[in-house]
Amino acid sequence: MSTLTRELDSESADESAAARRHRLRWVVLGVLALAQLMVVLDATIVNIALPHAQAALGFDNADRQWIVTAYALAFGSLLLLGGRLSDLVGRKTTLIVGLVGFAGMSALGGAAVNFDMLVFARAGQGMFGALLAPAALALLTTTFTDAGERARAFGIFGAIAGGGGALGLLLGGMLTEWADWRWCLYVNLVIAAMALVGAFLFLDDQRSEHRPRLDIPGVVTVSAALFAIVYGFSHAETAGWADSLTIVSLAAGAVLLAVFVWLQTRTEHALLPLRVILDRTRGGSYLVVFIAGIGMFGIFLFLTYYMQQNLGFTPITTGLAFLPMIGVLIVGATVSTGVLLPRFGPRWLTAIGMTLAAGGMVLLTQLTDSSQYTSDILPGLMVIGLGLGMSMAPSMQGAISGVSADDAGVASATVNTMQQVGGSVGTALLSTIASSAAAAFATGHATSGMSRAELASLAAVHSYTTAFWWAAGIFALGALVAGVVIRGGKLPATPEGAVAMAH
């Protein structure tokens, strides 16, 4: 009798936990959105503060990139481990550890007295970000079980993932100009504190019902592979593609990635079960997120330079200039996932979104050294914002569609990994293309009689428009991938048991 009573009590506890989770689902979305915003902000917010940090701590230009790269390396290489840990240890626990660690490392970075301390703090931020980002996306997946509501939730979450980088530029500009560069790191303490209160009050701990052992060989090989790839592309940005360290890093990354895939076919407790990525809809969605990551950084990086150096915008004005794009992106993401995705599925929605983003980039290729923001930059930004909103949020939902509860964390981590590695690839690739274009233009017009300042200005604009042409081609490739790889029709229903048990 007592056994039966205990079973009934257990069932009613599970039921009440599920009912509570359903009742508080929109509050939970707010908590998870804050956590995601913090991670995405930190990919760009420090960029604006770099010149001030450099002046304060006295490091040279060659070392400057490590403030950005240290975060990208740790975050990109540890994401899959973070995703699997959230499945095994529990998603609420992993999220809270990630938030506390991220806040602690942000405080350390804000208080940095030298270059080494700042780089260490940025790497620490990346490490704890790799814990909390997949946990947040997995919690979103398991909190929203109704197809319509899940679509709306993913629209909001996808808009943050797409627009957070631009918001980071605005916030970074405001904090650097009005307060101090250190507040670009201290601001995370405020965001983390709010997210932590929400996590303790409103989240249930969720983990896989089955708790397999951690795939240590898989963790080591994929972390080393992603580290080598991200490092290789980051190194190429400063040393060039022909540099021996660049070539060795990228080759080692490719070999280790092949070893990782081979290991995943031979282990019972795979870190990334191949069933997660071999599904056409999920695999295509991962590729689209990766390609969008490459192209997106072209917009933020080169338009920021163009608006500040050629149009004379302040950091704050530059950040404000991106706001219309964020607004359109949010509308595009929520409408496409809430209204269009449930009816038509992700294939053509994502393909059209990527095509629009490519078209917006083509508009930006027409910029000259005398262009105006309202007539020449704003239309392209609005089209790109709409395109990214229509493609990013449906891709993020497609990437975790139909996975079981046991794989929700690692499927979510793979989305973040694709976006992060795509961003690293995009920054290095487009920066190299732009610098080559600028050098070629300067050489070709050296005897034209222009002043040195005029030549430098025209060469810079030529380098940006060349990068925009490449970004347009990259987005067009994304449209092709979406149309060919992603399966047609609506997304599959959530499989039985995809909502993880509460503990």
- Tell me the Cα Rg of the chain: 23
Average pLDDT for 88-112: 92
Residue 499's beta-bridge partner residues? none
51 and 194 in contact (C-beta within 8 Å)?
A: no
Which DSSP letter does residue 500 get? Answer: P
Predicted confidence band at 16 (pLDDT cuts at 50, 70, 90)?
Answer: low
* Identity of the highest mean pLDDT range in 232-241, 399-408, 415-424, 432-441: 432-441
Report d(CA 92, CA 321) in Å as an integer. 37
Average pLDDT for 92-106: 94
Higher pLDDT, 398 or 24: 398
Average pLDDT for 267-290: 87
Predicted confidence band at 496 (pLDDT cuts at 50, 70, 90)?
Answer: very low
Single out the residue in 224, 249, 270 at which a domain terminates: 270
Over 90: is that where the pLDDT of 404 sits? no
Q: What is the DSSP string of 346-413?
A: HHHHHHHHHHHHHHHHHHHTT--TT--IIIIIHHHHHHHHHHHHHHHHHHHHHHTTT--GGGHHHHHH
Predicted confidence band at 2 (pLDDT cuts at 50, 70, 90)?
Answer: low
> Do both 209 and 242 map to the same domain?
no
pLDDT at 114: 92
pLDDT at 494: 53
Predicted confidence band at 287 (pLDDT cuts at 50, 70, 90)?
Answer: very high
> Do both 345 and 242 map to the same domain?
no
Predicted confidence band at 64 (pLDDT cuts at 50, 70, 90)?
Answer: confident
Task: Give the up-direction half-sphere exposure of residue 273: CA atoms within 13 A in the CB hemisphere.
Answer: 19
Predicted confidence band at 153 (pLDDT cuts at 50, 70, 90)?
Answer: confident
Is residue 187 packed enough to be buried (19+ CB in 10 Å), middle (13-18) or exposed (0-12)? Answer: buried
Average pLDDT for 452-467: 88
Domain containing residue 222: 215-270
Average pLDDT for 416-440: 83
Structure tokens given for 363? 């508009």
Report d(CA 447, CA 450) in Å as an integer. 8
Which helix (DSSP H) or strand (DSSP E) does residue 148 occupy?
A: helix 147-178
74 and 123 in contact (C-beta within 8 Å)?
A: yes
Predicted confidence band at 248 (pLDDT cuts at 50, 70, 90)?
Answer: very high
The whole model's pTM is what? 0.82
Q: SS3 of 269, please?
A: coil
- Report if residue 236 sits inside a domain: yes
Exposure string for 20-43, b = 16+ CB within 10 A, e = fewer: ebeebbeebbebbbbbbbbbbbbb
Report the CATH number that the domain containing residue 381 is assigned in CATH: 1.20.1250.20
Q: What is the DSSP string of 298-341?
A: HHHHHHHHIIIIIS---HHHHHHHTHHHHHHHHHHHHHIIIIIH
29 and 153 in contact (C-beta within 8 Å)?
A: yes
**Helix%, strand%, coil% for the chain, nearest 5:** 80, 0, 15
Predicted confidence band at 43 (pLDDT cuts at 50, 70, 90)?
Answer: confident
Which helix (DSSP H) or strand (DSSP E) does residue 451 occupy?
A: none
Over 70: is that where the pLDDT of 20 sits? no
- Report if residue 256 sits inside a domain: yes
353 and 483 in contact (C-beta within 8 Å)?
A: no
- Report if residue 84 sits inside a domain: yes
pLDDT at 21: 61
Average pLDDT for 443-462: 82
pLDDT at 503: 27
pLDDT at 351: 94
CA angle 297, 299, 300 (to 5 degrees): 65
Average pLDDT for 58-74: 78
> Do both 226 and 172 map to the same domain?
no
Average pLDDT for 10-37: 70
> Do both 209 and 227 map to the same domain?
no
pLDDT at 286: 92
Predicted confidence band at 339 (pLDDT cuts at 50, 70, 90)?
Answer: confident
pLDDT at 208: 58
Is residue 352 packed enough to be buried (19+ CB in 10 Å), middle (13-18) or exposed (0-12)? Answer: buried
- Report if residue 187 sits inside a domain: yes
Single out the residue in 270, 293, 314 at which a domain terminates: 270
Over 80: is that where the pLDDT of 225 sits? yes
- Report if residue 313 sits inside a domain: yes
Report d(CA 25, CA 32) in Å as an integer. 10
- Report if residue 26 sits inside a domain: yes
Residues written for the chain: 503
Task: Give the least confident one: 162-166, 230-234, 375-379.
Answer: 162-166
> Do both 207 and 346 map to the same domain?
yes
**How far is residue 500 from each of residues 207, 328, 486, 503, measured CA to CA in Å?**
6, 34, 26, 9
Task: Give the least confident one: 43-52, 189-198, 362-371, 487-496.
Answer: 487-496
> Do both 37 and 69 map to the same domain?
yes
Predicted confidence band at 276 (pLDDT cuts at 50, 70, 90)?
Answer: confident
Which DSSP letter does residue 334 get? Answer: H
Q: What is the DSSP string of 185-251?
A: HHHHHHHHHHHHHHHHHHPPPEE-SS-PPP-HHHHHHHHHHHHHHHHHHHHHHHH-TT-HHHHHHHH
Structure tokens given for 39? 């991670």
Write the single-letter amino acid at 306: Y
> Do both 156 and 181 map to the same domain?
yes
Question: What average pLDDT is seen over the chain?
Answer: 83
Structure tokens given for 302? 């080169």
Higher pLDDT, 237 or 120: 120
- Report if residue 500 sits inside a domain: no
Higher pLDDT, 27 or 299: 27
Predicted confidence band at 19 (pLDDT cuts at 50, 70, 90)?
Answer: low
For residue range 126-139, list pLDDT tens digits in order.
999 999 888 888 88
Candidates 329, 328, 308; CA nearest to 318 is 308
Over 60: is that where the pLDDT of 499 sits? no
**What is the tally of structural domains in the chain?**
2
> Do both 148 and 226 map to the same domain?
no
Predicted confidence band at 502 (pLDDT cuts at 50, 70, 90)?
Answer: very low
pLDDT at 111: 93
> Do both 329 and 344 map to the same domain?
yes
Report d(CA 44, CA 72) in Å as an integer. 11
365 and 472 in contact (C-beta within 8 Å)?
A: yes
Structure tokens given for 394? 């449906």
Which DSSP letter does residue 161 get? Answer: H
Report d(CA 413, CA 131) in Å as an integer. 9
Average pLDDT for 421-447: 83
Task: Give the least confident one: 121-130, 480-489, 493-502.
Answer: 493-502
Report d(CA 496, CA 204) in Å as an integer. 19
Q: SS3 of 112, please?
A: coil
Residue with tokens 């282990």: 267
Structure tokens given for 206? 């969720």
Over 50: is that where the pLDDT of 498 sits? no
- Report if residue 179 sits inside a domain: yes
Which DSSP letter does residue 309 get? Answer: I
> Do both 344 and 398 map to the same domain?
yes
pLDDT at 8: 41
Single out the residue in 245, 270, 295 at which a domain terminates: 270
- Name, in order, each residue with C-beta under 8 angstroms of 503's C-beta and a sequence gap of 6 or more: 90, 204, 205, 206, 207
User: Residues of the chain with pLDDT > 70: what percent?
Assistant: 90
Q: SS3 of 273, please?
A: coil
Structure tokens given for 286? 């991962």
> Do both 189 and 63 map to the same domain?
yes
Over 80: is that where the pLDDT of 440 sits? yes
> Do both 258 and 279 map to the same domain?
no
Which DSSP letter does residue 320 get? Answer: H
Residue with tokens 């920054």: 427
